[in-house]
Amino acid sequence: MTKKRIQLEQITGRLSRRAMLGGAATAVVALVQTASGKTIQQGVSISELLPDDPTKQIGTLAGEVGTRSAFEKVVKKPSDISSRSPLQDFYGIITPSDLHFERHHAGVPAIDPAKHELLIHGLVDKPLVFTVEDLKRFPSVSRIAFLECSGNFRSGKETMSPQDICGLTSQSEWTGVKLSTLFREAGVKSNATWFLAEGSDAAVMTRSIPVKKGWDDAIVAYAQNGEALRPEQGYPVRLFLPGWEGNTSVKWLRRIELSDQPFMTREETSKYTEPIKGAEPVRRSDGPGKYRQFSFDIDARSIITFPAYPKTVEKGWIEIRGIAWSGRGKVARVEVSTDAGKSWQLATLQEPILDKAHTAFRYVWNWNGVETEILSRVTDETGYLQPTLNQLFAARGDTISYHFNPITAWRIKSDGSVLFKPEP
């Protein structure tokens, strides 16, 4: 566990030195007073911090920053290139900023906000440079929306949690300046059809974006959930494109270049392109087919996050819970099946149901204790119904690639254990 310093003056006096050196695992680092009266940092276990009766002892004093309860072990799952959000541990629709998924191509850069600048140039009347402070002076906008990596699908074994299967999606309230405001400021020329967004990380990440998206709803964001962006999310400035595949929302944004054609960067040619049904054979093993490029919209998706592996359930009333979202608008409805997809019932949607946003759903179910499968499927306001994995294979060939959003099934076994059911 990462050591966190929390102020505990009020109770440290009562912690005996012996207790602090005791065998219990270190839970937190507290400021403690030694026998000689010196204040030092020391690891203490949860049980040592717990009074027998919290009403009989003054608690911790007010601190500079809040901390997560030492009893809550919610963590992302990192790999070399990404880190997945623990969807099964969340309540509601806002992802705590420190648990927002991460995906970067050459690590998280350390950037001094006082030195960071955003250049906008190319097909504009006036090429301009903005400091972060300049950007904050413009009229601001906030919106709650999801951000999902288009490579957000894992499968293959039963012991997978929602985090393992699709933890590369998160939701925040993003605040910044509309890109259209900056477009007007610089005077984007009428022949500009694309723009390049470039990051200030070691990958110097670049994507080409249609200018229309810039006029429509793109945000140059400097804040997330009420505070400055987290470094992992692009501090001090990122692009945010609601509803579009995460890679296009370029982080650590340093440059925007207006152009009359796409730049064909590596991330929109070699990567973030996927096989589709084309003129040539669909089955990739027979040779190359066609590949789809500039697949920006995130197709609608839902997943039950409770009950789900590794949690277990008991016979009786169970509130099935999950999230649903679409990159093309609002969630119109979510259906839940508790009989392996034979029949479907409408789930209750929790307000607010926002455009291009994770929407919470729930369905109360009385489980009779007999083994079954539970599933959810979303329909968005365009009428798109979340497909099965086999429908995706039929449409795109037998390779799992970007933009895979299949229905997720959970097996509830009679002993109450819950297992992911990968489609064959």
Partner 1 sequence: MNLYSLWLPGAFLLVMLTSRFQTIGEDRRTSPIAKVDTLPTHFGFGRPATAAEIARLDIDVRPDGKGLPAGEGQVLTGKQIFAAKCAACHGTGGVDGPNGSLVTTTNPGRKRPEKTIGNYWPYATTVFDYIRRAMPFSQPGSLTNDEVYHLTAYLLQANGIIDEKTVINAQTLPRVVMPAQKLFVPDDRKGGSEIK
Measure the CA–CA gap between 406 and 301, rounded to whole angstroms. 7
x-marked contacts with partner 1 along 357-386 as a string, rule CB under 8 A: -----------------------x-xxxx-
Which two structure tokens, joined as six digits, stand for 149? 């990596």
Q: Is 126 helix (H, G, I), strand (E, B) or coil?
A: coil
Q: How many CA atoms lie within 13 A of 266 on its CB side?
A: 5
x-marked contacts with partner 1 along 317-336 as a string, rule CB under 8 A: ---------x-xx-------
x-marked contacts with partner 1 along 269-308 as a string, rule CB under 8 A: xx--x--xxx-----xx--xxxxxxxxxx-x---------
**Residue from 31, 43, 70, 105 binding ligand HEC (CB under 6 A):** 105
DSSP structural state of residue 93:
S
Q: Is 311 helix (H, G, I), strand (E, B) or coil?
A: coil
**Contact of 231 with 108, CB cutoff 8 Å:** yes
Nearest to 374 by CA among 413, 333, 331, 404: 413
Which helix (H) or strand (E) element contains residue 213?
helix 211-216
Piece of 4-12, 163-171, 203-211, 341-349 that binds partner 1 (CB under 8 A): 203-211
Which two structure tokens, joined as six digits, stand for 361? 């759903």
Within 250-309, the residues that bind ligand HEC by CB under 6 A are 266, 270-271
Measure the CA–CA gap between 58 and 377, rounded to whole angstroms. 49
Minimum CB separation of residue 120 from ligand HEC in Å reads 25
Measure the CA–CA gap between 398 and 360, rounded to whole angstroms. 31
Nearer of residues 149 and 186 to ligand HEC, judged by Cβ: 149
Minimum CB separation of residue 38 from ligand HEC in Å reads 47
Q: Residue 276 binds what, of ligand HEC, partner 1, none (CB under 5 to 8 Å, by partner type)?
A: partner 1
Piece of 71-79, 96-104, 119-127, 364-372 that binds partner 1 (CB under 8 A): 119-127
Q: Three-class SS string for 378-402? A: EEECCCCECCCHHHHHHHHCCCCCC
Q: Is 122 helix (H, G, I), strand (E, B) or coil?
A: strand
Minimum CB separation of residue 359 from partner 1 in Å reads 16
Within 244-273, the residues that bind partner 1 by CB under 8 A are 254-255, 257, 259, 261, 263-266, 269-270, 273
Which contacts qualify for 53-58: CB closer than 8 Å, 24 or more apart? 57/11, 57/14, 58/10, 58/11
Q: Residue 196 binds what, of ligand HEC, partner 1, none (CB under 5 to 8 Å, by partner type)?
A: partner 1
Within 188-247, the residues that bind ligand HEC by CB under 6 A are 203
Could you say whether residue 79 binds ligand HEC (CB under 6 A)? Answer: no
x-marked contacts with partner 1 along 71-110 as a string, rule CB under 8 A: ----------------------------------xx----
Contact footprint for ligand HEC (CB under 6 A): 105, 203, 266, 270-271
